[in-house]
């Protein structure tokens, strides 16, 4: 990936998440983009990169051969929010993950947004289950019917995501 693409993607996440979280999320995106198995999907409007979503491997320790992904971050520039960019990101992103043969996509996100794209709350563990105080925010989208049912136990995200604070839902609205 070109340096200019990485700069554009980090700018999207910085602006989309605002002054409180933007810089931290942008730096997390840089770390994800440096990993070999990260899937990055961007949407343009004219010549402007308007949105980006990243997917990183997510592993069930007892089922390491079942390929799953974690969706984060998902950002749209403020001036393009409400214009279908988020929908396009979700559709193209899910299609990209599906093309890998993955079983499912997990997300710790806004319960009012992700169900529109087939995500449902799940009882599968996050890497830090004791920090999940908003269980409806932990969701999954199965890409093959029944693929998630047999999964269980401890989970691991990519190293940059294995930070307890990123999984703590107690301070989120």
Work out the pLDDT band at 173, boundaries 50, 70, 90: very low
In the chain, where the domains are located: 3-167
Q: DSSP state, 110?
A: -
**Residue 73: is the preceding peptide bond cis (ω within 30°)?**
yes
pTM of the predicted model as reported, rounded to 2 decimal places: 0.95
Q: Are 70 and 57 in contact (CB under 8 A)?
A: yes
**Are 116 and 89 contacting, i.e. CB atoms less than 8 angstroms apart?**
no
Per residue in 143-170, pLDDT tens? 999 999 999 999 999 999 999 999 998 8
Separation CA 17–CA 19 (nearest Å) = 7
Distance CA 73, CA 14 (A): 11
pLDDT tens-digit series, residues 72-127: 999 999 999 999 999 999 999 999 999 999 999 999 999 999 999 999 999 999 99
The answer to whether the beta carbons of residues 62 and 152 sit under 8 Å apart is: yes
Residue 172: pLDDT band (50, 70, 90) is low
Contacts of 86 (CB under 8 A, 6+ apart): 51, 74, 76, 113
Residue 3 has pLDDT above 90, yes or no: no
Question: At CA 26, angle to CA 22 and CA 28, rounded to 5?
Answer: 120
Q: What percent of the chain has pLDDT over 90?
A: 94
Q: How far is residue 70 CA from its own chain's centroid?
A: 5
CATH number corresponding to 3-167: 3.40.630.30
């Amino acid at each position: 990936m070109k340096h200019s693409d990485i700069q554009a993607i980090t700018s999207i996440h910085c602006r989309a998440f605002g002054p409180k979280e933007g810089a931290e999320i942008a730096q997390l995106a840089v770390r994800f983009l440096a990993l070999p198995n990260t899937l990055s999907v961007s949407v343009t409007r004219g010549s402007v990169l308007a949105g980006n979503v990243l997917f990183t491997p997510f592993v069930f320790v007892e089922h390491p051969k079942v390929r799953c992904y974690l969706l984060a971050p998902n950002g749209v520039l403020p001036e393009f929010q409400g214009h279908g960019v988020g929908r396009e990101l979700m559709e193209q992103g899910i299609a990209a993950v599906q093309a890998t043969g993955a079983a499912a996509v997990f997300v710790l996100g806004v319960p009012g947004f992700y169900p529109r794209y087939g995500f449902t709350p799940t009882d599968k563990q996050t890497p830090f289950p004791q920090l999940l105080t908003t269980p409806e925010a932990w969701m999954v989208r199965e890409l093959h019917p029944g693929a998630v049912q047999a999964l269980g136990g401890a989970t691991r995200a990519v190293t940059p995501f294995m930070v307890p604070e990123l999984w703590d839902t107690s301070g989120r609205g």
